[in-house]
Amino acid sequence: MSKIAIIADTHDNIPRIDQMLEKLKEEKIKTIIHCGDVCAPNVLKYLAKKFSGQIYLSLGNVDNDHELMSKMAQEELKNIKIYEKFGKLKIDKLKIAFTHFSDQAKKLAQTNKYDFVFYGHTHQPWEDKIGNCQLINPGTVAGLFTKSTFAILNTDTKELELIIL
């Protein structure tokens, strides 16, 4: 069984990031898909150093320095792979796309190429289905404007669990 964490909108909130990482440790999760808005490059570095697994990140609208973040991921943060607009992965036979923005997520879901499309930006946990694709927003780890949440996907059962911090 494989579980992956789907997170978004961490917005430099280190205490919430630490709470989330503690939960990931309990669940033995080794993969994070981050749907954007880490914010500061030093927080990206913090996340990479505190989490030993693989992190896939699609950049968001308040990620301060896209160029520096990409350079850091290439040169020193070897467990982070950054995607400028959206990423696509195959994990345990599941086709997954992820982005920061809901309009782009919807367009990706409408292609019928993916089992799951994840996105952030709205800070609201949301689930929808377009064709055979699950369109999912895990909410905001930072707890900005709403409760602090993220999701865990079981890649065997295809079940999602919303975690409230």
User: How many separate domains does the chain show?
Assistant: 1
Residue 13, amino acid:
N
The three-state secondary structure class of 60 is coil
C-beta neighbour count of 85 within 10 angstroms: 11
| Domain around 43 | 3-164
Q: What pLDDT score was predicted for residue 6?
A: 98
pLDDT for 71-117, tens place per residue?
Answer: 999 999 999 999 999 999 999 999 999 999 999 999 999 999 999 99
pLDDT for 36-74, tens place per residue?
Answer: 999 999 999 999 999 999 999 999 999 989 999 999 999
Q: In terms of Cα–Cα distance, which of 140, 163, 162, 153 is closest to 38?
A: 140
CB 99 within 8 A of CB 73: no
State the CATH number of the domain containing residue 146.
3.60.21.10
Q: What pLDDT score was predicted for residue 68?
A: 93
Q: What pLDDT score was predicted for residue 1?
A: 61
Strands 149-154 and 31-34: unpaired
Angle value at C-alpha 12, between 44 and 153, nearest 5 degrees: 70
Residue 70, amino acid:
S
Q: How far apart are CA 141 and CA 151, in angstroms?
A: 10
This prediction has a pTM of 0.97
